[in-house]
């Protein structure tokens, strides 16, 4: 099963983001670690990792920890 990211705004509404599928969780997380700042600057406030249509974890905020 493929892994992919769901992108959401601050209110939890889905927003557009890269439509990329990954073979495993590690590959998805490695990709995310490289692009999270770009996603945040494009208006993504939080993400959820999905395996098929099931949530693996999230939502995870992209805001800096204070």
User: Could you report the per-residue pLDDT of 15-46, keeping only the tens digit for each?
Assistant: 999 999 999 999 999 999 999 999 999 999 99
pTM equals: 0.91
The DSSP element (H or E) to which 56 belongs, if any, is: strand 54-61
Core vs surface per residue 29-44: b (16+ CB within 10 A) or e: eeebeeeeeebbeeeb
Q: Is 7 exposed, middle or buried (0-12, 13-18, 19+ CB in 10 A)?
A: buried
Residues in the chain, total:
66
Average pLDDT of the residues of the chain: 95
Contact 6, 48 (CB under 8 A): yes
């Amino acid at each position: 099963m493929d892994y992919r990211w769901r992108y959401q705004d601050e209110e939890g509404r889905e927003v557009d983001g890269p439509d990329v599928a990954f073979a495993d969780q590690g590959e998805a997380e490695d990709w995310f670690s490289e692009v999270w700042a770009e996603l945040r600057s494009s208006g993504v406030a939080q993400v959820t990792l999905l395996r098929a249509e099931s949530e693996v974890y999230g939502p995870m905020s992209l805001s800096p920890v204070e």
